[in-house]
Structure 1
């Protein structure tokens, strides 16, 4: 298993991929667990087979079966991975620090909401960590621009990146207390007509009430959530935005949730981490992802109990 210059022709990551495929008995599930694309997992196993010059797995529509050579190789790989894991635990036990720099990018309104709270809490836990955060609504090339991770609300188009959805939200109608005091609190959709004014986002509305809402009169039309939210807070009208972005403002009494029954008829909107595929994920990135997921899960549990 060595080339002429005594270098192994495959890396540790390839061994991990092969071992996980064998253990789970599925390329698809292994890819999901390892946060890789299925095509990458298949390619890595195929490259391993070509290098070794033997067939490791026999594939059928229902199952994966190890060949005799594959079984021998898997046993060796499993033992190696176990030794490496034990060595890592011994080495990192006394040096379990989250440090370095985490480069992040996300829309302006996302960074100002509950995600911003997560970032601040995460930094307090890890004083040796630096975070470079860009709040921007522009289109970003993560790999070219050197970002570790992006958070996005809505469907993701670029399939070359790893997309991990960690929350689902829906859009809610909100207005400021000042606006409600002037025009009254709407009791149904028909109440949203004149004299009420909409602050409309230039985007698709994921709701069964889409047609009704799009026909309502509007006074201000804008292409960013942050601008719509700012106008709404100033009392210029009612707007329709993802609930998790304005949750804190509702709890603080700065915004009023209008027609909450609409919430139940929504199509969920994904909130996702997006990051480039890589052989080894930095510990600081993994820690931030896990921390944020836990924060959102805890928030959902608190709301359900309430």
Structure 2
């Protein structure tokens, strides 16, 4: 049995996304009455209830959740098939859903958005900035930028750069409290901790001879927000371990100073990842190509440090 009209699937997915019949109708250009009628027709054809509806609340049934996952995949495959057929004959079209780490996205992805939209005016970009590691397949994202090892075998990765870490502090803090000469000296300093999700209070080092060591650090402030951590650093409140991509301009300007420069830290991959399919959709390809073009073989934040 096949669904009579693919639009019914589009409506169903939109209703789940926004959680409201009227809002879904406005997004798609239908009245709430039409949306309700189409959902009812879909349920009758399937012989199951997908949604429990009341005057105040809309709840998805267990069957509705399972069917929603299939609908998202089917619609994505149809969009990809259309893109493949028209590739080389037209601009990429449709909606590209991207999720990226919040601070990295704000600093290095968001500035590329105007150029991306200028090049591909028939694409609609939905950019999600969050430090939560979402399941891009389950949540319907086309591509994600990930920092760290990739453990999901259902995703394909393309290299964008390396996330290198540096211990930093302001010159004013160092004048007041002194400069640590060894990792063990950090025990005598106030350390500002990044918590995502748990505080990173064991810092890993590799000494000049290549031997690894771990140092427990403590301080009076922890946060899961890069901007809040930056504010604390610039208030001369303590020492922090930060990615070079976050502080490269500060290091270049001299407003932050690298500490323990002879001790390095484990680095992480920065990658664009997307669901493993036989064909890479045109809209994903052009987005990743722009990232690679903009970052280059050695990203600009590494060149200047």
* TM-score, normalized by the shorter chain, greater than 0.5: yes
Match of 2:206 in 1: 208
Moved over 6 A (4+): none
User: d(CA) in 2 for partners of 1:147 and 1:274?
Assistant: 10
- Helix, strand or coil: the match of 2:295? helix
User: d(CA) in 2 for partners of 1:117 and 1:282?
Assistant: 23
Match of 2:139 in 1: 145
User: d(CA) in 2 for partners of 1:112 and 1:302?
Assistant: 14
Match of 1:250 in 2: 251
Give unmatched runs, 5+ long, in structure 2: 1-84
Match of 1:277 in 2: 276
Residue 168 (structure 1) shift: 1.7
Aligned positions of 1:23-42 closer than 5 A:
none
Tell which deviates more after alignment, 149-158 or 199-208. 199-208
Match of 2:173 in 1: 179
Residue 121 (structure 1) shift: 4.2
**Correspondence 1:219 to 2:198:** no
**Correspondence 1:112 to 2:110:** no
Residue 223 (structure 1) shift: 4.5
Aligned positions of 1:57-68 closer than 5 A:
none
Please, what TM-score do these two structures have when normalized by structure 1? 0.57
Q: What CA deviation, in whole Å up to 9, does each residue of 1:3-30 have, x standing for no partner?
A: xxxxxxxxxxxxxxxxxxxxxxxxxxxx
Match of 1:192 in 2: 186
Please, what TM-score do these two structures have when normalized by structure 2? 0.57
Check 1:249–1:213 CA distance in 2 against 1; reply closer, same or farther (3 A cut).
farther
Q: What CA deviation, in whole Å up to 9, does each residue of 1:84-113 have, x standing for no partner?
A: xxx978x53xx4x35432211122122122
Residue 236 (structure 1) shift: 2.0
Check 1:126–1:257 CA distance in 2 against 1; reply closer, same or farther (3 A cut).
farther
Aligned positions of 1:231-270 closer than 5 A:
231-262=232-263, 265-270=264-269
- Helix, strand or coil: the match of 1:142? coil
- Helix, strand or coil: the match of 1:144? coil
User: d(CA) in 2 for partners of 1:144 and 1:277?
Assistant: 13
Check 1:299–1:124 CA distance in 2 against 1; reply closer, same or farther (3 A cut).
farther
Q: What CA deviation, in whole Å up to 9, does each residue of 1:60-91 have, x standing for no partner?
A: xxxxxxxxxxxxxxxxxxxxxxxxxxx978x5
**Size of the alignment, in residue pairs?**
213
Residue 154 (structure 1) shift: 1.0
Check 1:302–1:172 CA distance in 2 against 1; reply closer, same or farther (3 A cut).
closer
Residue 232 (structure 1) shift: 2.1
Q: What CA deviation, in whole Å up to 9, does each residue of 1:177-210 have, x standing for no partner?
A: 443343344444354342x211123247554269
